[in-house]
Amino acid sequence: MDAKSLENVIASISDLIEKSKSQKESEAFKNFSELQMNAQKSEAQISKLEEELDKKNKLFSGAMQNAASLEIQNKKLGEELQLEKSYKDKLSSFVSRLSASLGVEVIRPVPSSRAKRGSEEHDLEVKLENMLQKVSEVIGKPEEGREKPRQSIKISLSSFEPGDVALFMPCGKDRTDAYGNSLYVAFNVDCPRHFLHTSSLEDFFQKDKARAESYCLGRITVCYEATEDDFNEFGMTDEESFHVCYAEPVLTE
């Protein structure tokens, strides 16, 4: 083989080597590019998964907070129901004792839906006991063998509409109207004050003065919210809301 042919062979081999090297570099670059793109896609997917995981964590955290809040609410509701039951039981006991003292049936009042708490419940209990003691003092203790409360007369403690029977008690010598007459207020539980009108009070005194001096048991004929004239007549201020009742005497004996 002459020198020229040898040079041609060497040149061909060099070309092949260069081509092979270039091809490998191209394939390597292509593979690197593909790897880089896949890495970018993976990063995007990971970022998306992290966002979804973060959303789920927030939802889970919110659900846990709601569950904790619901548990607290249920516990609070259970406590209020227990207080409400205790309150109703005390009212029921009080009504039974009042009924025995008067010798007539007393309608059990419907207490407010809000359960009494702490000092409020204690204050109510003291108030009811004081009321019952006052009734017992002015009426006298029930005698043994006294007949059961009459079913035809039912005293209301929480409703004062026409037709309801109310027990009006004197407020004391220091509470008088514009004419010097003692004020009589309806015995009530969880209700605004209802005062007996002077004209009706006169009817009670005409029927039975001795009893009227202690209490007036009457069936309400008219009941309305106090007007400006009533505030003056009953010696009340504008801040003291109350109602006025007309009633006719109810005889229990």
pLDDT in tens, the chain (253 residues): 666 666 666 667 776 676 666 776 677 667 777 777 877 777 888 888 888 888 888 888 877 887 777 777 776 666 666 656 665 666 666 666 666 665 556 665 655 545 454 555 555 555 556 665 655 555 554 444 444 444 467 888 888 999 999 999 888 777 888 888 889 999 887 778 899 998 999 999 999 988 888 889 999 999 999 998 888 888 888 777 899 999 999 865 5
HEC per residue, the chain:
CCHHHHHHHHHHHHHHHHHHHHHHHHHHHHHHHHHHHHHHHHHHHHHHHHHHHHHHHHHHHHHHHHHHHHHHHHHHHHHHHHHHHHHHHHHHHHHHHHHHHHCEEECCCCCCCCCCCHHHHHHHHHHHHHHHHHHHHHHCCCCCCCCCCEEEEEECCCCCCCCCEEEEEECCCCCECCCCCECEEECCCCCCCEEECHHHHHHHHHHCHHHHCCCEEEEEEEEEECCHHHHHHCCCCCCCCCEEEEEEECCCC
Residue 67 included in any domain: no
The answer to the question of residue 217 being in a domain is: yes
Residue 23 lies in a domain: no
What is the rounded CA–CA span in Å between residue 157 and residue 109?
6
In a domain, 201, yes or no: yes
Amino acid in position 71 = E
Confirm whether 186 is domain-assigned.
yes
Which string of b and e fits 125-134 if b means at least 16 CB within 10 Å? beebeebbee
Q: What pLDDT sits at residue 66?
A: 78
Residue 14 phi/psi, 5° resolution?
-65, -40
Range of the domain at 213: 156-253
As for how many domains the chain has, the answer is 1
In a domain, 73, yes or no: no
124 domain-assigned:
no
Could you tell me if residue 222 is inside a domain? Answer: yes
**pLDDT at site 138:** 53
Residue 187: which CATH number?
2.40.50
